[in-house]
Chains A and B, each alone.
Chain A
Amino acid sequence: MSEYAIIGKRMPRVDSRAKVMGKTKFTADLNLPNMLVGKIKRSPHAHARIIHNDTTKAKAPPGVMSVVTGKDTAGVKWGVFAYTRDQQFIQTDKARYIGDEVAGVAAIDEETALKALDLIEVEYEILPPVFDPMEAMTMETELIHTEFPNNINIHVNIDTGQVDENFAKAHYIREDTFVAPEESYFQAEPYAVVARFDSEDCLEIWCPNGGPHMKSKPLSNAFKIPLHRVKVRKIAIGGAFGGRSEICPADYICALLAKKTGRPVKIKFTREENTIATRQGHAMITTHRTGVDQEGRVLARETTCYMDGGAYSSTGPIATSVPFLSMEQAYRMGSVRYNGYRIYTNKPIRGMIRVHGRGFAAGLDTQLDMIAAHLNIDPVEMRLKNSRQQGEYTSTKSFVASCAMDETIHKAVAKSGFSEKFGNLPPFHGIGMGTNSVQTGFPMGIRGGSQAFIKFNEDGEATVMSGVVDNGQGNDNMVVQIAAEELGLLPEDIHLVSADTETTASDPGSYSQVSTFVGGQAVKIAAQNCRAKLFDVAAKVLKVEPSTLAAKNRLIFVKDTPEICIPIKKVVRISLLNFTSVNAEGGYWPRVDMKREWVSNPYGQMCEAFSFGTTIVEVKVNPATGQVTVLNATAAQDVGYALNPLVLEGQFEGSIAMGGQGGMLTEYHEWKEGRCLNPTMLDYKLPLACDMPPIHSIMVESIDPKGPYGAKEAAMSIAMSAAQAYAAAVSNAIGVYMDSFPLTPDKILAAIKAKENKEPE
């Protein structure tokens, strides 16, 4: 058993009591005195020049308090990187997708606001739109952004050298192309934002966000006010999955309306707006060309991916890289060349999503299975031959300090009975596996580190201040668990102040899977510093050396003679009476290669740790309907160390649902002339309780040398390996390697039919 009192335990989350009582406030639940209703006018055209934007009539009706257009924004443009600043918060010159922001309204109630929206007169000159990325590159229509030739927004090129030479040496080479359309986050909570300017003219803003400090900077830039005057407040967040990271034009519009009216304003997205006007996952066309030796070891790989980026850059450079990086972490490749192109189209904006390219990842594993079959190698063997090992460097030169990929493969195989089942199941019954890896952090420059502060109150309880944000995954609990463990308190003794830009120091945010590794580590260090101060005081009282002390259960005691002890509360009071501080801070900055850049220099240490995982699923396909029933899923991941198995299991299970069950069987968007045909929950098929298979979660612990208690990213790699495993299992069941995802019944039936036609009985 571990030496920890609280870490590693199945601890119920500290935030769940308020949630089950209906007390937790989400943004849309805020009702501030005098609050106005904000609404956004959106372009009905996919590509159109804005000739005229007349708000005179819209301002007339009583109850309309403010109408804003691009004229009020001073042309500010937003972009995650200096070289991707391409999006105005309200468009002045042209609209680039159906849903692009063209105006905002604040009124006393929703009806009045909607009426005002209708009265805004925007005159457009319709431009020919382009919806297909391959077509967009031919440039037969006006460029979506003039600064980007061929509508190529981002081109990531990675080349380790020796690729062609190694292909020449290969025993067997395959080239296959895989496609998948857009998918959406469908966070349970539709986007909402509340903003007001307070009595000191500071902007106070509430919205679901992946990192308050990532929101405050662009707002400070846009309003030209210092950072300390932008107070992004903590509020419960109803899921993010990568889709709540960036500033949203609605944040700016809401704040602008609040400024103009001097009153709080709330903008609440409809479900359709959440789908269209936040972010979506990229549609991708991926070609993998892989050359192996006789044993199945990958000697060379060349991957080319075309990503439909939609109208603006968003996190483009990152989104264009991560699908590849995940695979180069998971698998060794002798040499590799990657060309990722993110292309502008007149469709909604695409961002980072939990499964970074389902077609990309599932394609790579499908091709491995094809190669394995050709060489007569078992899929397990095929993966073990190519799996990442601890102590290696990835193709783009990141050192892998901890890796238990093979253990995840072995454990998932044993638990699922893969080896007995593969090749021995009845017709239309299949089993498949996928392996993947995720970064624990991205190079984030100035926002790469986190700092925490801890103060003790005279009753012996502590307040922890941390910039870490909880999107729903349990980060608040993680911070409390760590602080309680290190301070020797119980979780209920810790009060958490977090995700607030006024009171907490900069933090990377709940983004890039780094909260535990960086934010948690900062809290751990702060708590250790705080504890050292307590021990100094306690040592004097107990007349022992500080190094002989330990803390647990609200007591400080001598390790070897626990009877010699003193309550922490008493130590705090003695300190205060003796003018001694028992407050402390702590910070953590991961050692990454600061010169690494997504496009200009995609080599060097990416982050300090990577997670590795394997998922295996077993399915039955109904050959008459094409319907897939998933019998069971087994997910194993190297999480470094499981800080809270109860919480982690929940993350594993959620990953199977989103990455596998939804992502590979039912979820995708349909389009007509740039209009999304299924933006609502009625039309977009999310997995339900009755759809989900039993899930076995296996946590493998490699104890990362840098992570807090050895912990690193947990469960996101499962969303990806689940996608791969679902694809492999269905392909195995029907005896056809599928190359178009998700695997909807129509595609499955067509594949079965095509196979029957090819091999008449």
Chain B
Amino acid sequence: MDKIEISLTINETPYQMRVLPNDTLLEVLRNQLDLTGSKEGCDEGVCGSCTVHMDGKPVRACLTLALEARGRKIKTVEGLATGDALSDLQQSFIDHGAVQCGFCTPGMLMAGEALLSTTPGPDEQTIRRALSGNICRCTGYAKIVTAVAHAGNPQAPCPDCRTQTPYLQAKE
């Protein structure tokens, strides 16, 4: 098989590269660009740990050919923060204890960000449905769901929503 020259825009950076027609977007991200934040949990479109955004929509990078990403805007977990400043959802995942082993986290974040961008203030059922293409073996999902619900949307009775003071003082 011959390699094909393509250009991709990933996290707002343009790349030129040569890929095989059967290379998946996930393989290109991880193996060619060393963007290893997107994980390979199943390689068959089930676990969601490889979820990235293509033109703002969540897609499974393990089922997306690199060729399909030509001319599209790709965003990966590495592109969520602006420099050192985390997105609301990233911060919320930390604050609410939504991260355990962290293997599902990149995919969960991308699914959660996609939901929040189209549906602000989603209710619990909507969140659960939106995350149901992403498997987490550690958390039982409870804290992930709360993290999405409270992202940039602090709730007064929640002991984990970040207020002005850091947690050590806030929880006395």
Interface on A for B, CB 8 Å cutoff?
1, 5-6, 9-13, 15-17, 19-26, 28-29, 31, 185-190, 236-239, 241, 270-271, 471-474, 490, 646-647, 649-650, 652-658, 661, 680-682, 686-690, 692, 694-695
Contacts and interface: CB of A to CB of B under 8 A. Distances in A.
Interface stretch (B2-10, B63-71, B135-143): B135-143
Contacts of B106: 22
A31 B31 contact: yes
B116 interface: no
A238 B102 contact: yes
B77 interface: yes
Given A28-B36, A239-B101, 15 more contacts: A12-B97, A20-B105, A21-B37, A22-B37, A22-B78, A26-B39, A26-B103, A187-B137, A188-B103, A188-B137, A189-B103, A236-B101, A236-B102, A682-B46, A687-B140
Given A19-B105, A26-B39, A689-B134, A474 B100 contact: yes
B25 interface: no
A690 B135 contact: no
Contacts of A686: 135, 137
A680 to B, nearest CB: 6
B144 A188 contact: no
Given A10-B167, A650-B138, A690-B128, A190 B41 contact: yes
Interface string B153-172: 00000011000000110011
A290 B141 CA distance: 38
A16 B141 contact: no
Contacts of B123: none
Given A28-B40, A472-B101, A650-B100, A692 B140 contact: yes
A646 B168 CA distance: 13
Contact of B138 (A15, A188, A694): A188
B168 A649 contact: no
B143 A649 contact: yes
9 contacts: A16-B94, A17-B94, A187-B101, A650-B138, A650-B142, A653-B139, A654-B138, A689-B127, A692-B128
A687 B47 CA distance: 11
Nearest to B134: A689
A689 B128 contact: yes
Contacts of A239: 100-101, 103, 137-138
Centre residue among A10, A271, A649, A689 by max chain B CB count within 10 A: A689
**Top 6 closest pairs, chain A to chain B, by CB:** A22-B37, A472-B101, A19-B102, A238-B103, A653-B140, A22-B77
A15 B168 contact: no
B38 interface: yes
B90 to A, nearest CB: 4
A26 B37 CA distance: 9
B77 A21 contact: yes
A656 B140 CA distance: 7
Given A12-B167, A238-B102, A239-B138, A649 B97 contact: yes
Contacts of A190: 40-42
Contact of B102 (A16, A656, A690): A16
Contacts of B24: none
Nearest to B49: A188
A21 B103 CA distance: 12
Contact of B86 (A20, A26, A472): A20
B80 A650 contact: no
B99 interface: yes
Interface string B11-47: 0000000000000000000110011111111111011
Nearest to A28: B40
A186 B159 CA distance: 32
Contacts of A695: 140, 142
Contacts of B140: 650, 652-658, 661, 687, 692, 695
B59 interface: no
A21 B36 contact: no
Contacts of A472: 100-103, 138
Contacts of B168: 5-6, 9, 11, 490
Contacts of A15: 99, 102
B135 A681 contact: yes
A20 B137 contact: no
A196 to B, nearest CB: 18
Contacts of B44: 271, 680-682
A20 B139 contact: no
Given A21-B86, A238-B101, A271-B43, A12 B141 contact: no
A25 B138 contact: no
Contacts of A1: 172
Contacts of B93: 16, 20
Contacts of B61: none
A19 B139 CA distance: 15
B145 interface: yes
Centre residue among B34, B36, B43 by max chain A CB count within 10 A: B36
A657 B141 contact: yes
Interface in B108-164: 109, 127-129, 131-132, 134-145, 159-160
A646 B36 contact: no
Contact of A189 (B37, B91, B94, B101): B101
A617 to B, nearest CB: 13
A270 B142 contact: no
B144 A689 contact: yes
Contacts of B91: 20
B139 A650 contact: yes
Contacts of B100: 239, 472-474, 650, 654
Contacts of B46: 680-682
A16 B43 contact: no
B139 A654 contact: yes
A20 B34 contact: no
A214 to B, nearest CB: 19
Contact of A20 (B99, B132, B138): B99
Given A10-B171, A650-B143, A690 B129 contact: yes
Given A20-B86, A649-B97, A658 B167 contact: no
A681 B47 contact: yes
A24 B90 CA distance: 14
A734 to B, nearest CB: 25
Centre residue among A22, A186, A650, A681 by max chain B CB count within 10 A: A22
B41 A9 contact: no
Contacts of A5: 168
